A and B are shown apart, each in its own frame.
Chain A
Amino acid sequence: MSRIKILRQEVANRIAAGEVVERPASVLKELVDNAVDAGATRIAVTVEGAGVSLIQVADNGCGMDADDALQCLEQHATSKISEFEDLEKLLTCGFRGEAIPSIASVSRFTIITRPHDALEGSKVVVDGGTVREVSGCGCPPGTTMSVRQLFYNVPARRKFLRSPETEEGHIVEQLHLLALSRQDIHFTLSLDGRQALNLPPGDDLRQRAAELYGRDTVKDMLPVAWSEEGIAVSGLISRPGVHRSTRKEQRNFVNRRPVDSLVLSGALRDAYDTLVPKGRFPPALIFVSLAPERVDFNVHPAKREIRFREAPAVQRVVLAALQQALRGIAGAAILQPPSFLLPQSADSARPKLSFAPVSPPAQLAQPATLAQPATLAQPAKAAEIGPISQIRPIFPQPANQPQASPAPVLAPKTPTTPATPTTPSHGLSRLRLLGPVRDRYVAAVGEGGLVLISLQAARERILFERLLNSAKMRQVTQQPLLIPITLEVPSADSALLKRAGETLASLGFDISPFGGNTWLLAAVPACYPQENLLAIFRNLVDDLRDNPDSSSRRGVLDQPLAAAAARAAARAHQPLDDASLRLLLQELDRCELPYAAPDGRPVLVHLSDSELARRFGR
């Protein structure tokens, strides 16, 4: 007898369940995905006992007849694709036909379903993968799937479940993701009989995010809207200065599917480089949509992992989108947070800016940034799941703009690294200066309230951008010193200088050994402060010692060293008279990203009128 056998279906299902059904939250995801694919506009989720006792997902989607209800319990049975090529053009959440049989094999599973045009519904009861009952029943149109006693027949799995609180947390987070990805669907969640979420449908991301994470969190977030090379990016990202200790609040979606993608988190990291401190993560909701054939979801059964066909292009476009959002209106949003009106359209979602340029940056005004790739809006192959073809674009369309044309719409191509010399004003130069505060800060008044500026951080940012800009544009002009400065350093620091020397030279510094541990500073970049160079030189050596990263070329090009040089100079004494402070504001205003020092610490603190009023109890 052959020793190699084909496994029984039940065994195969349980093995598959190991991958698909990791924990109750993954059951929820699979069931909700099915409901979404069925074209539901309302999905009610009921969870009891942290998902171990019951997970029930009731939708008003297309429903199934009795045959389909039985058929869907078979391995690899799906309505979503039929040919291999269909995988290339996926528009549905699911496609593998694995989830239902897997879940059914490790739980007591019930399907109650009725197509809209049928008079009677059907009920299928499955216990651990064995069909116990198939009967007719009365029920509303749509499908209700109930999963009871999850893992009752897999004790090992059950043992590995975390505490009920943890599992419930996962369920809620999972539903958050699903709700964010489909704002057009009405979601409700009931936890142990208590209604935990009720999310009416809408087309505005800000509104849904506010319902999930609170208005205060969301109101200061910046809208992202960008499209290039057929890749549309939208979402909400936190303003500079807001950051968390983990990546948990960075949620990425590709074609409305919550995903973990190094490509996207990498773009996010690069966009916030120098805007948040090292090891901190800005909260963000990023939605990427692109033609289905350009991305592969079929990497892992849980579909959290994805592969982009052109990962570098995606990363570049997403980075450009985020940079644009941060650069264009970030600062104005800091200085004047938008009043939180639940906006109806993308136009009103844009923060009301008091001292930002009256017209938003040109790219943002382009409706094309919101355009969907046509293929998503017109799913041809998905016709069998009727309602899906009516799915509206995920992204809010400005009310006054024509709908995206059927042909693939590409936004006007913009340079991905817009190192334009003329950056728009951030409104900082229009602040009314009050004066220095304790020689370390500057107080100023804007239309929206009081602004406090850290002198050190502001100078760091200004110098940092100056140094990098002139290095980037290959316009490094050096001012040699008439009397070079000598500095004797400990031998350990000598090694640091040796390592940093080449990069410092590319920035315009001329630092050379002068015998023993003495170093000679013979020239500095023209854009660098010229006063107090001995103190600055000493600060620079201290900085290299205190931040070993500076010379390890972690960052892009010469960034870390430019940051070190900027820090060194910013620490040296500088005048605080009105004229110099006003100049400082003007220079800060010219910066591309004037909101954080290169190490991510904030430059500005804004006390809005409303906050002042609140504090004074007015």
Chain B
Amino acid sequence: MKFVIEQSVFSQGLGRVQGVVSSRPAIPVVGHFLVVAQGQHVVITATDMEQSITIRLPARVEVEGQGTIPAKKLTQIVRSLPNNDITVSFDDAQKCSIACGKSRSRLQGLAAESFPLERGELAGRDLTFRSGQFRRMLDKISYACAASDERAVLNGLLLSILDGTFTAAATDGRRLALMETAVDGGAGLDGETILPSKAVSELCKMLPEDGEVRMILGAARAIFSTGECTLRTKLLEGAYPNFRLVVPSGFTRQIMIPRQELEQAISRVAIILESNNPSIKFQIESGLVNVVSADNADDCCETVSASYEGDPTTIAFNPNYLLEALKRLECNAITLRFNDKVSPTGIFGDEGFLYVIMPMRS
């Protein structure tokens, strides 16, 4: 096998797939890329046995064939090379040589046949989204996934379709973030899929702003593909908590606050907080909200103008939970909807977005 590829194309492509490769691979070949040269393209695949990403890059293929190359080393070498044509070739002993200008590196590959490549088609619900829209959807909620909870499903992100509404939701049991949008396609699409959070972060890296993403959601696996990239992932099994029960059926009060001002106010007043008291208060009055923090002898207060009609009230939150949501939104103003200072509070902003958070009690 032998092909010639532009350094910038190669480097960018490797950057998009190498995140999947485990730093401590279970078997050696999983620490390698599978490289297939065919026609006008090379196809590079990385896997950690749970997820795999395949990317197709334009190249001048001189000899077709396939081989594996140590992933981390190749990525670093290619990244450090000058922006020139790189010639990659394999000899009979599966040794891969990477030549660029006066530089030549040789990396020992492994048998391409031993690479655990997932092949074949997947039967499942088939949808197509605009790639940029789907990426932003994931980005606005994925931080709310749990990191290492014993309830494994919380470590993932839910994609649910019900009655023509597509919902992506994430919760760690303390707050819930969801995005909704309408889909066409009828009842055949209804169902729930739980994506592992690693797949979500790889998806966010992989999805381009333009173009479309086609997803096939099967029972145990899912495939997401754009023009040049394909992500295959195992799904998390189990029942996701019924997030619809967590959202209060109605709110009695609401306040509309400029998003950026609020975000800045919260991050400023939170500076003085130590980790044993991560709480800030919203003192809500007519036309304004005072964002207040106090820790031992220190206190901060910042006033943000807001539109509110109703009795003055105070409600406390963990500032980190608020900031995580606020900084990812795009809208100019958010709406905080609540009933009282102890029951779940909703934050609305971008179209289709909902964030539910429990106020703190003291």
Determine whether the beta carbon of B148 is less than 8 Å from that of A526. Answer: no
Closest B residue by C-beta to A531: B147
Determine whether the beta carbon of A587 is less than 8 Å from that of B275. Answer: yes
Selected from A421, A483, A530, the residue in CB contact (under 8 A) with B246 is A483
Q: Which residues of A contact B146 (CB under 8 A)?
A: 531-532
Q: How many residues of B contact A (CB 8 A)?
A: 33
| Cα of A613 to Cα of B150 in the assembled complex, Å | 46
Q: Contact string, A459-499, partner B, CB cutoff 8 A, digits 1/0?
A: 00000001001100001111111110100000000000000
A341 located at the interface, meaning its Cβ lies under 8 Å from any Cβ of chain B in the complex: no
| Cα of A375 to Cα of B104 in the assembled complex, Å | 90
Determine whether the beta carbon of A483 is less than 8 Å from that of B149. Answer: no
A557 located at the interface, meaning its Cβ lies under 8 Å from any Cβ of chain B in the complex: no
Determine whether the beta carbon of B276 is less than 8 Å from that of A527. Answer: yes
A452 located at the interface, meaning its Cβ lies under 8 Å from any Cβ of chain B in the complex: no
A534 located at the interface, meaning its Cβ lies under 8 Å from any Cβ of chain B in the complex: yes
Selected from B150, B175, B246, the residue in CB contact (under 8 A) with A532 is B150
Q: Which residues of A contact B174 (CB under 8 A)?
A: 479, 481-482, 530
Q: Which residues of A contact B208 (CB under 8 A)?
A: none
Determine whether the beta carbon of B318 is less than 8 Å from that of A482. Answer: no
Q: Of residues B173, B246, B274, which shows the largest number of chain A Cβ atoms within 10 Å of its Cβ?
A: B173
| Cα of A481 to Cα of B246 in the assembled complex, Å | 11
B362 located at the interface, meaning its Cβ lies under 8 Å from any Cβ of chain A in the complex: yes
Determine whether the beta carbon of A531 is less than 8 Å from that of B149. Answer: yes
| Cα of A481 to Cα of B148 in the assembled complex, Å | 17
B159 located at the interface, meaning its Cβ lies under 8 Å from any Cβ of chain A in the complex: no
Q: How many residues of A contact B (CB 8 A)?
A: 29
Contacts of A527-561 to chain B: CB distance below 8 A = 527, 530-535, 538
Determine whether the beta carbon of B246 is less than 8 Å from that of A482. Answer: yes
Determine whether the beta carbon of B151 is less than 8 Å from that of A534. Answer: yes
Please choose the segment from B61-69, B91-99, B353-361 that sits at the chain A interface, where 4 or more of its residues have CB less than 8 A away. Answer: B353-361
Selected from A421, A478, A538, A573, the residue in CB contact (under 8 A) with B148 is A573
Q: Of residues A470, A478, A479, A480, which shows the largest number of chain B Cβ atoms within 10 Å of its Cβ?
A: A479
Determine whether the beta carbon of B276 is less than 8 Å from that of A466. Answer: yes
Contacts of B197-256 to chain A: CB distance below 8 A = 241, 246
Determine whether the beta carbon of A483 is less than 8 Å from that of B173. Answer: yes
| Cα of A523 to Cα of B150 in the assembled complex, Å | 18
Q: Of residues B175, B241, B344, which shows the largest number of chain A Cβ atoms within 10 Å of its Cβ?
A: B175
Determine whether the beta carbon of B246 is less than 8 Å from that of A477. Answer: no
| Cα of A478 to Cα of B275 in the assembled complex, Å | 13
Return B20 CB to nearest CB of chain A, in Å.
Answer: 20
Determine whether the beta carbon of B246 is less than 8 Å from that of A479. Answer: no
Closest B residue by C-beta to A536: B150
B278 located at the interface, meaning its Cβ lies under 8 Å from any Cβ of chain A in the complex: yes
Selected from A477, A479, A527, A533, the residue in CB contact (under 8 A) with B358 is A479
Selected from A470, A478, A573, the residue in CB contact (under 8 A) with B361 is A478
Closest A residue by C-beta to B317: A479
Contacts of A414-430 to chain B: CB distance below 8 A = 421-422
B171 located at the interface, meaning its Cβ lies under 8 Å from any Cβ of chain A in the complex: yes
Determine whether the beta carbon of A476 is less than 8 Å from that of B362. Answer: yes
Q: Which residues of B contact A (CB under 8 A)?
A: 146-151, 171-176, 241, 246, 274-279, 296-297, 316, 318, 342, 344, 356-362
Q: Which residues of A contact B (CB under 8 A)?
A: 421-422, 466, 469-470, 475-483, 485, 523, 526-527, 530-535, 538, 573, 575, 587, 590
